[in-house]
């Protein structure tokens, strides 16, 4: 476990211990959400829009502050057309026929600051932790109708990261709210696969993506 993550967990633990009485009074809850993920920067040059979901469990320090633990899953498919455009622009010959996916499993500690209680509540959030990446790309390079190279690459990495976000809660029942949020994920730069003029893999960033999440938040023991 990295030193940065250890510091985050220690700080989170100290915060929880310092506000334990408030948690007991103000309650806790959980959110279940579906995510749409848009890769940005160089990540977006080789992968399509992704899909996934997340679950988080939160505890309240005050009526306006929540601390959470989030676990999620997101998957992106390789954008064969975009990869071939880059390949051709770099002087590549023939075409690349590719299939494959990139998967991310974030585990994040977070803090959410909410507007005062009312019919609709807006919030800002900060979440930090680790992202477990796994992925595979396979296919062929074809020139003049002939397969000239078989391609197979796989990846399994753990990197530090976090996100900033905004959202709102709208009550739809007793202790149940619609939860709509947008997050911008900043993940420590890692590499996946792009292809140069010779069909060889080269670095592609997986460090930035944007998500929109829609879900339901259940609150328990709240005053």
All structural domains of the chain, each given as residue ranges with its CATH number in brackets, are 3-19+29-220 (2.40.160.20)
Q: Is 0.75 surpassed by the pTM of this model?
A: yes
Whole-angstrom distance, CA of residue 183 vs CA of residue 164: 6
How buried is residue 84: exposed, middle or buried, by Cβ count under 10 Å (0-12/13-18/19+)? middle
pLDDT digits 0-9 by tens, 6-25: 544 444 454 444 444 444 45
Q: By the 8 A CB rule, do 175 and 220 touch?
A: yes
State both tokens at 30: 């959980």
pLDDT digits 0-9 by tens, 174-210: 889 999 999 999 987 665 555 565 655 554 556 789 9
Whole-angstrom distance, CA of residue 151 vs CA of residue 100: 11
């Amino acid at each position: 476990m990295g030193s940065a993550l250890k510091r985050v967990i220690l700080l989170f633990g100290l915060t929880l211990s310092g506000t334990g009485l408030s948690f007991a009074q103000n309650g806790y809850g959980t959110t279940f959400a579906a995510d749409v993920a848009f890769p940005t920067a160089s990540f977006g040059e080789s992968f399509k829009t992704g899909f996934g979901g997340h679950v988080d469990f939160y505890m309240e320090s005050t009526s306006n502050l929540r601390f959470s633990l989030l676990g999620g899953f997101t998957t992106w498919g390789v954008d064969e057309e975009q990869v071939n455009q880059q390949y051709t622009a770099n002087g590549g010959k023939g075409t690349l026929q590719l299939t494959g996916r990139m998967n991310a499993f974030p585990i994040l500690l977070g803090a959410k600051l909410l507007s005062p209680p009312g019919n609709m509540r807006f919030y800002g959030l900060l979440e930090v932790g680790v992202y477990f990446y796994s992925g595979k790309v396979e296919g062929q390079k074809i020139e003049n109708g002939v397969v000239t190279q078989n391609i197979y690459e796989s990846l399994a990495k753990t990197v530090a990261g976090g996100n900033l976000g905004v959202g709102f809660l709208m009550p739809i029942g007793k202790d149940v709210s619609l939860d709509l949020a947008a997050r911008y994920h900043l993940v420590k730069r890692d590499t996946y696969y792009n292809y140069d003029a010779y069909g060889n893999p080269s670095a592609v960033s997986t460090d930035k993506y944007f998500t929109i999440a829609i879900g339901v938040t259940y609150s328990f023991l709240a005053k």
